Structure 1
Amino acid sequence: MAAKNSSVTEFILKGLTDQLGLRIPLFFLFLGFYMVTVVGNLGLITLIGLTSHLHTPMYFFLFNLSLIDFCFSTTITPKMLMSFVSRKNISFTGCMTQLFLFCFFVISESFILSAMAYDRYVAICNPLLYTVTMSPQVCLLLLLGAYGMGFAGAMAHTGSIMNLNFCADNLLNHFMCDILPLLELSCNSSYMNELVVFIVVAVDIGMPMVTIFISYVLILSSLLHISSTEGSSKAFSTCSSHIIVVSLFFGSGAFMYLKPPSILPLEQGKVSSLFYTIIVPMLNPLIYSLRNKDVKVALRRTLSRKVFS
């Protein structure tokens, strides 16, 4: 596979730093992050799968969020770790594959988070209709919609990048194959290309953010009408973990993509990318485990059964 009219068959990833003395410490640091990400997300997936009382719509979406975070991190981190200790080359085919998977998982996660916000809205504002509104069929449709939007967005981004020309320079100023660094490297990238990317990203981030915002406005309005302070606090506590995850994910993503390159240079953009590609997938299972009573109870019971068996 090669780009249209392109003489470039591989890219060289510049990575996080050019300082040789920092490469080994950074390798072990991000290896630790990746191990925590793998153990945390696969652990949460296993826990939800093995615990019957967690087989509810909320944890159905959390199961898929952990699956996406695991795959998302695995798409980016191993190649970045290799670049610290060996060759930084990545073939054009490998680069486009990484770009496609990156776009697919990040867009799918944004819509999964919006589905989780809708689930909390129904649970708090219409509890009597919850089992009907959030039926298995509805949950499956929401999940397929999230993955469908991820696939469509990934195809759009990858297709537009493959139609660009990469003439001679193949030094990619990033630790992964991302949209903005590839646009900067192209010899025929134009304002129109950047505008298309901006519009597609705005839709993929904007639609979920609007859904989440409306859901929480309605949730807040409903909580204000709850006379019991204890009841209001209990209801809002079920949303707190989701709010933290949403803030981390959309905040770092919007900071990277919804600002012109002149305001956010790529060197600074790499830090933002690092946050939502490496740090957020690592923190998500920790946030839901440490702040969720049901998950902590399920974990204690599972560990107790393993110990006594």
Structure 2
Amino acid sequence: MGIVSIGNQTITEFVLLGFYDIPELQLLFFIIFTVIYASIIIGNMLIIVAVISSQRLHRPMYFFLANLSFLEILYTSTVVPKMLEGFLQEAVISVAGCLFQFFIFGSLATVECFLLTVMAYDRYLAICYPLHYPILMNPRWCLGLVVTAWLSGFMVDGLVVALTAQLKFCGPSQIDHFYCDFMPLVKLACSDPRVAQVTTFILSLVCLTVPFGLILTSYARILVAVLRVPAGASRQKAFSICSSHLVVVSTFYGTLMVLYVEPSAVNSVLLSKVFSLLYTVVTPIFNPVMYTLRNKEVHQALQQLFYIKHTETLEGGGW
């Protein structure tokens, strides 16, 4: 349990309860989420390696995709290892460690909101303005968009964490969640959390609804452009790719909006944890799949990479 000093009742540690209420499934959950976590790491690493190693993939779309894959690796690695620990034993985390986890995870979630918007904008320019695309999406502009997305995400969440760190936690020391998030932390505060709550609500509203609106606008214009193309395989492919991307984006933004903009809509702690799993574990494994499943260039780059490695292994073995 969390250590509490008798004098001022200041907590120095928290216990992450995770899915404690279903103990009979702890081992099964550990195995399932270990496999999912390994798949997320391997899948996203393959995309990064493919983009770096293949000259044909040195284009804006794949540059953004590699950034998204790198983000997903950091994103899940911030939360999942501690969650896996909780399936096997009591997961204890210091207050400082808890705030740090909240800062990194929250910042990366915000970065992903901005990065998905940039990727949608990139597809909009590529499809609606193909002749001007190389000029509009030049390397310098691409780098600027990515750097802005990363810096903005950490700045936004840095403000939220700074306000949360001002709160006093006097007990209990148990967080009924599998990672340190804003709402579970605020519930344990014994000082007035209203400033932090209002600030978080406003920032969440802006950082979620504005990017999501821009994404929907981009795909709506893409849809209009595709409808002007004569019916055929290319038109069907465009619809298929856009619908796949929108499913992942809607799942990610939808769950975040429910939990951070309208938390009262989730009146069950278990339901809140399930929603959290959607954007902490499910979307990170779907993102590389959905963005590369129908992409022949990525498939070819990976095949070439494995073929070269296989050939080098055979040559090194004296075949």
TM-score norm. by structure 1 comes to 0.92
**Structure 2 CA distance, aligned partners of 1:139 and 1:286?**
23
* Higher alpha-carbon Rg: 2
Deviation at residue 191 of structure 1 after TM alignment: 4.6
Label 1:238 to 1:93 Cα distance change in 2 as closer, same or farther (>3 A): same
**Which residue identity does 2:60 align to in structure 1?**
P
Shifted more, 91-100 versus 245-254: the winner is 245-254
Amino acid at match of 1:143: V
Q: Which residue of 1 aligns with 2:316?
A: none
Equivalents in 2 of 1:196, 1:79: separation in Å?
28
Q: Which residue of 52, 56, 63 corresponds with 1:53?
A: 56
Shift of 1:237: 4.6
Q: Does the 8 Å CA contact 2:51/2:58 hold for their aligned counterparts?
A: yes
**Match among 250, 253, 259 for residue 253 of structure 2:** 250
Q: 1:99 to 1:294 in 2, by over 3 A?
A: same
d(CA) in 2 for partners of 1:33, 1:298: 24
Counting only pairs closer than 5 Å after superposition, residues 2-81 of structure 1 correspond to structure 2 as: 7-81=10-84
Q: What code does the residue aligned with 1:283 have?
A: F
Moved more, 82-91 or 255-264: 255-264
Pick from 125, 130, 134 the counterpart of residue 127 of structure 1. 130
Report Cα offsets for 1:52-76 as digits up to 9, x if no partner.
1011100000000000000000000
> Using a 3 Å threshold, how does the CA distance of structure 1 residues 164 and 153 change in structure 2: closer, same or farther?
same
- Matching residue within 188, 194, 197 for 2:197: 194
Secondary structure of the residue aligned to 2:14 is strand
Residue aligning to 1:90: 93
Displacement after TM superposition at 1:135 (Å): 0.4
**1:137 and 2:149 correspond:** no
Count of equivalent residues: 305
* Structure 2 CA distance for partners of 1:133 and 1:237, relative to 1, 3 Å: farther
Question: For residues 236 and 294 of structure 1, do their structure 2 counterparts lie closer, same or farther at Cα, with a shift above 3 Å needed?
Answer: farther
- For 2:256 and 2:176, how far apart are their aligned partners in 1? 18
Deviates more, 1:208-217 or 1:250-259: 250-259
Matches of 1:180 and 1:91, distance apart in 2? 17
Q: Secondary structure at the match of 2:99?
A: helix
TM-score, with normalisation over the residues of structure 2? Answer: 0.90
Higher relative contact order at CA 8 Å, sep ≥6: structure 1 or structure 2?
1
Give 3-state SS (helix, strand or coil) of 1:15's partner: coil
How far did residue 129 of structure 1 move? 0.5
Farther-moved stretch of structure 1 (233-242 vs 67-76): 233-242
The residue identity in structure 2 corresponding to 1:90 is I
RMSD between aligned residues: 1.9
Shift of 1:17: 2.5
Instruction: Give 2:295's match in structure 1, choosing from 288, 292, 297.
Output: 292
Is contact 2:169–2:188 with CA below 8 Å preserved after alignment? yes
Q: How does 1:108-257 map to 2 (within 5 A)?
A: 108-257=111-260
Aligned to 1:12, what secondary structure does the other structure show? strand
Distance 1:202 1:99 in 2: 18
Distance 2:146 2:62 in 1: 13
Secondary structure at 2:10 match in 1: coil
After TM superposition, give the deviation of residue 227 of structure 1 in Å.
3.3
Q: Which moved more, 1:229-238 or 1:137-146?
A: 229-238
| C-alpha separation in 1, matches of 2:16 and 2:184 | 10
Q: Percent identity?
A: 38
1:20–1:220 distance in 2 versus 1, CA, 3 Å:
closer
Letter paired with 1:83: G
| 2:93 match: secondary structure | strand
SS of 2:263's equivalent in the other structure is: coil
Aligned to 1:272: 275
The whole-number CA distance in structure 2 between the counterparts of 1:260 and 1:244 is 22
CA contact (8 A) 2:11 2:169 kept: yes
Could you tell me which runs of 5 or more consecutive residues in structure 2 were left unpaired when the two chains were aligned: 1-7, 313-319
Q: CA separation in 2, counterparts of 1:18 and 1:198?
A: 29
The answer as to whether partners of 1:288 and 1:295 remain within 8 angstroms in 2 is no
Q: After alignment, is 191-200 or 209-218 more displaced?
A: 191-200
